[in-house]
Amino acid sequence: MVGNSKDPMKIIIDTDPGQDDAVAILLALASDQLDVLGITAVAGNVPLALTEKNARMVCELARKPGTRVFAGAKSPMERPLVTAEYVHGKTGLDGPVLPDPDMPLQPLHGVDFIVETLLSEPAGEVTLCTLGPLTNIGLALQQAPQIAERVEQIVMMGGGFFEGGNVTPAAEFNIYVDPEAAHMVFESGIPIVMMPLDVTHKVLTTRSRLARIEKLATPVSRAVVELLEFFERFDEKKYGTDGGPLHDPTVIAWLLKPELFSGRYCNVEIETNSPLTAGMTVVDWWQVTGKPHNALVIRDVNADGFFDLLVEHLARL
């Protein structure tokens, strides 16, 4: 099931904001096609105390303080936490000066929220949008394995195959931080749509695209431009591109307009053992193993169409 149906699609956003996570949250909150049941924070780009706070700051920026934000896991299932302040700055949302949030953090643990929501909503109606390490989803599957058959789908930003990795030559950050959780998710039988670096590296925050956002001249658009100007610096230098990849919003864009993207169904396995390639997403793109397909792996995108969608939605906030 994809977007464009009449009833808004129920989603939970699992996230580690992060500037690109922030833009993904804004895109989701701007849409009337999506019903954001809750946002669960996870440790990733920065520690949990910052990701849960950042998630609330972004909801307030969108003027949606009624959105429920839950704090999930503080550290990966089996490994020490690896963070990425070198990309996102020490707060995770470096760039603009945003006020501390007034809206409360929900008392329930994020993993309990995921489990309770999936058990109480009708089966097959809730999509999990994962924008960070998969720890919360792995823990939810461990706690209540029966949720696997109740999830409509997981749409995730994670992995990389033709592009390789961005933390090690083999691994992308979200999978690298918690390969054991990612392994559980890919083995769970839940339908998966995967947005790897192969597609996100085609969605660049070029000067002209940021100028379009700036032209909206709203508090949200100004904050987004400042967030992205900070965020793109690291990758522009690394890849020598005009703009940096806008990874996480591709997850939400896929729900809103899947026709912008193309990919193929593949078998995907996660390397958890080798110190050299831990967190690698081994994608059987050429179908050489005969192993069952467990993910729709996206490789291409209409990047201009993606930015049209983003600008149109940011204008609503």
The mark string for 94-133 relative to ligand BDR (x by CB under 6 A, - otherwise) is -------------------------------------xx-
Pick the piece of the chain touching ligand BDR (CB under 6 A) from 29-37, 121-129, 171-179, 295-303.
171-179
Phi, psi of 308 (to 5 degrees): -60, -45
CB closer to ligand BDR, 25 vs 317: 25
**Burial profile 82-102: b = 16 or more Cβ within 10 angstroms, e = fewer:** bbbeebbbebbbbbbebeebe
Name 43's Cβ contacts closer than 8 Å, sequence gap at least 6.
16, 51, 73, 74, 75, 76, 81, 83, 133, 135
Q: Output the smallest distance, CB 178 to ligand BDR, in A.
A: 12
Strand ranges across the sheet with 34-41? 69-71, 34-41, 9-15, 126-130, 151-157, 192-195, 295-301, 261-266
Q: Is 247 in the active site?
A: yes
**Contact status: 198 vs Ca ion (CB under 5 A):** no
**Contact status: 173 vs ligand BDR (CB under 6 A):** yes
Pick the piece of the chain touching Ca ion (CB under 5 A) from 195-203, 243-251, 256-264, 270-278.
243-251
What is the token pair recorded at 132? 């960070």
Q: Please work out the total of residues on this chain that contact ligand BDR, with binding judged by CB under 6 A.
A: 15
Q: Output the smallest distance, CB 116 to ligand BDR, in A.
A: 25
Which residue type does 264 have?
R
- Cα–Cα distance for residue pair 88/131, rounded to 1 Å: 14
Single out the residue of 18, 38, 96, 279 in contact with ligand BDR (rule: CB under 6 A): 18
Between the CA of residue 91 and those of 25, 58, 158, 208, what are the distances in Å?
A: 17, 13, 22, 27
Residue 213 binds: one of ligand BDR, Ca ion, none (C-beta under 5 to 8 A by kind): none
Single out the residue of 21, 52, 178, 198 in contact with ligand BDR (rule: CB under 6 A): 21
Single out the residue of 31, 45, 83, 272 in contact with ligand BDR (rule: CB under 6 A): 45
Do 281 and 172 form a contact (C-beta atoms < 8 A)? yes
Q: Output the smallest distance, CB 172 to ligand BDR, in A.
A: 5
Active site residues: 247
